[in-house]
Amino acid sequence: MNGAVETSGPRQRLLDVLAKLRDGFQQLEMPTELRRTEELNALLSAERSATVVVVGEFNTGKSTLLNALCGINLLPVGIVPITATVNIVSYGQNAHILIIRRDGTEKEVDFSSEALQEYTAKHGDQSEIREVHIQTPYAPQGLTFVDTPGLNEVNQTRAEIVYEMIPKADALLFVLNVVMALKRSEIEFLRKRVLGTSLVKTMFVLNHIDKARSPAEVAIVASVRKRDLKAIYEEVAEDFERAGSAGLAQQVREYGKQVPVFRVSAKKMNTSGASPMTEGDPDGLREELLRFAEPDVRDQAILQGVQAQTQFLVRRFRESLDERSRIMSSERESLVKSADMQRNALCGALRDVRDIANTLENSRSELVHAVQERIPRIFLEQAETIEQRMMEIGAERTLQIIQEEIPRKLEAEISILNDRMHALAVKCAAPSSRISSPEPPRIDANGKTEGTGESLSDAKNQPGHEFLAMIVAMWHPMLGILIAAFPFISNIFRSGLSVHADIADVREQLRKAGQECAQSVEAKIEQQIETMRRVVLDRMDAPQQSLRNICNALMGASDLEHETVSKMQAEVKRLEEQPLT
């Protein structure tokens, strides 16, 4: 940094990697990771002070330590949990306090111990306060300290704020109580929140050494805890290796080789003034932090911090790509299975259509032959007996009988044809139901589905009822039309029966009427069978379209996305294998 941003070297390589990650997260629609990438890019590109986040359970002396590092009683302290907010302390010639609420609004107040007590101490309701920014000339230049509530006493809302601060830190001060350092909860926090998700450079502070029985005891505790910490770092490195994150594993081991552990008595540091403070700070924590604030050291620490965060983003990117690849493979398998099922269904449907076509053609021939034989016979029977009846019962009575018998016999014949057409529809519908619908129910002569009381309009709206609805719609109106047409016969009779010689003409008229009626019924049969054939063919449109869609998905966008993800995975592999700095 130092006024100019590098255009080559480790910093530029990190910026290039972040640019690739930004494009990848944008393409994968991962807004949280995209935002974090942009934040890291800003951290790496801007000139700023180093951020040191102070964490630890309550009563470990975090606020007292910060007061000692600043050389002034700045933050409220106590033997019970006091810190209620995230307090950000930085250098500034003009002291002031800035309150940032959770809704994003800000409030600036005059610097005073009363204001600090009011806005940072654990009393009243600070639930709406997100951060308290404290600028003071007593803070070390080049460093920004972040004081946080105790890890084991913050509510979930404040806990999340603390967790958000950790990845943004350039270094972490993990304050432990020397009397009972590295409790189970502290180890879990270190593994999950520090090493497992952020990998921030961490300095461990064994505070309250003044409460130990002797300096020798403190030295033993420090040695044992340092050994324990190295073991924890190694375990986390092995976890990363098993997860395929070699770069993160290497960096964890680098940090774990020399785990910095500082013995401190924050209370004595705060009362020792500007003297060397060998009693309160025997390992030189203050000196290390001041060195950390030097531009060259600070810039290197910032670079290392961004590198660690970038490694986590690379890992997150790889995990997302692997998951996307698994999903695509699963979808592809599902598409292939669906295509096979649709293809088999279509092949079966084609066989069914051929069978149905043969059935329709054979039935058409049989039905047409029956119509040509049986319908004209009704009229011919009347023509053959008309003269005999006239002699026995007279012309008027003969006409009346003919007008009654022809419609009755026609209705009986058409009813038989209707039954045969219904049986044909059922026979054709049964195999075609494998494509779209089950076998239709029986429909009576009144257009009702038997046993349900459903009307013809209801049946038409249900899958599989097309054939029967079609039959009822055609045959029964046709029957009514034929019966309504019979009065024309009586007109012939009235004009012809008055003269005996006209009986031959009447017979001819009846014969012609029989032929015309048979032709009309035959045309209806042809029309219905053709409609049945079209319905069967229409039923094949859905599986055919479904199969086309599946094939398009397999050959189109799926292949393109699979190729894109494969390229991204190859790029991530290169990022993980090569050093970022």
Instruction: Beginning with the edge strand found earlier in the chain, give each strand of the sheet holding 202-207 in spatial order.
Output: 106-110, 96-101, 129-136, 86-91, 143-147, 50-55, 171-177, 202-207, 261-263
Cβ–Cβ under 8 Å, residues 580 and 308:
no
The reply to whether 419 falls in a domain is: yes
pLDDT per position as a tens digit, 512-558 = 888 888 888 888 888 888 887 777 777 666 666 666 666 666 555 45
Average pLDDT over residues 418-437: 67
| Residues in the chain, overall count | 581
Angstrom distance (rounded) from CA 393 to CA 399:
10
Asked if residues 83 and 122 have their Cβ atoms less than 8 Å apart, the reply is yes
State the total domains in the chain.
2
Residue 275 sits in the same domain as residue 372: no
Q: Are 439 and 464 in contact (CB under 8 A)?
A: yes
8-state DSSP, 161: H
Regarding whether 178 and 287 lie in a shared domain, the answer is yes
Instruction: Return the pLDDT at 503.
Output: 73
Give percent of the chain with pLDDT exceeding 70: 72
367, 281: one domain: no
Kindly report, residue by residue over 277-320, the tens digit of the pLDDT: 457 888 889 888 888 888 888 888 888 888 888 888 888 888 88
* 43 domain-assigned: no
- Looking at residue 8, its pLDDT comes to 53
Mean pLDDT for all residues in the chain: 75
**Is residue 308 included in any domain, yes or no?**
no
Cα separations in angstroms, 238 against 197, 200, 271, 312? 15, 18, 44, 15
Local confidence band at 84 (pLDDT 50, 70, 90 cut-offs): low
Are 360 and 277 part of one and the same domain?
no
| Structure letter (DSSP) for residue 75 | S
Q: Are residues 135 and 225 in the same domain?
A: yes
Output phi, psi for 95, to 5 deg. -70, 135
| Whether 161 contacts 32, CB under 8 Å | no
Q: What is the pLDDT of residues 232-255, one digit of tens each?
A: 999 999 988 888 777 788 888 888
CA distance 298 to 304: 10
Please state, in angstroms and rounded to a whole number, the distance separating the CA atoms of residues 15 and 45.
8
Residues 150 and 76 in one domain: yes
What is the reported pTM? 0.59
Looking at the structure, tell me whether residues 249 and 363 fall in a common domain.
no
pLDDT given at position 225: 92
- Shared domain for 273 and 152, answered yes or no, is yes
- Which domain range does residue 375 map to? 352-541
In a domain, 161, yes or no: yes
Query: Do 156 and 233 fall within a single domain?
Result: yes
| 126 has pLDDT over 80 | no
Integer Cα distance of 15 and 21 in angstroms:
10
Note whether residue 241 is domain-resident. yes
Are the C-beta atoms of 320 and 30 separated by less than 8 Å? yes
**One domain for residues 270 and 392:** no
Q: Would you say residue 468 has pLDDT above 50?
A: no
Indicate whether 186 belongs to any domain. Answer: yes
| Secondary structure element (H or E) that encloses residue 177, with its range | strand 171-177
CB atoms within 10 A of CB 563: 10
CB 162 within 8 A of CB 151: yes
Residue 226 lies in a domain: yes
Could you report the per-residue pLDDT of 386-424, keeping only the tens digit for each? 778 877 887 778 777 877 888 788 888 878 887 887 787
374 and 512 together in one domain: yes
Verify that 285 and 361 share a domain, yes or no: no
| Tens digit of each residue's pLDDT (9 = 90 or more) over 37-82 | 888 888 887 777 888 999 998 888 888 898 888 888 888 775 445 5
Give the distance, in angstroms, between the CA of residue 435 and the centroid of all CA atoms in the same chain. Answer: 31
- List, in order, residues 6 or more apart from 181 with CB less than 8 Å away: 206, 221, 225
Residue 254, in any domain of the structure: yes
- Any idea what the CATH number is for the domain that residue 82 is in? 3.40.50.300
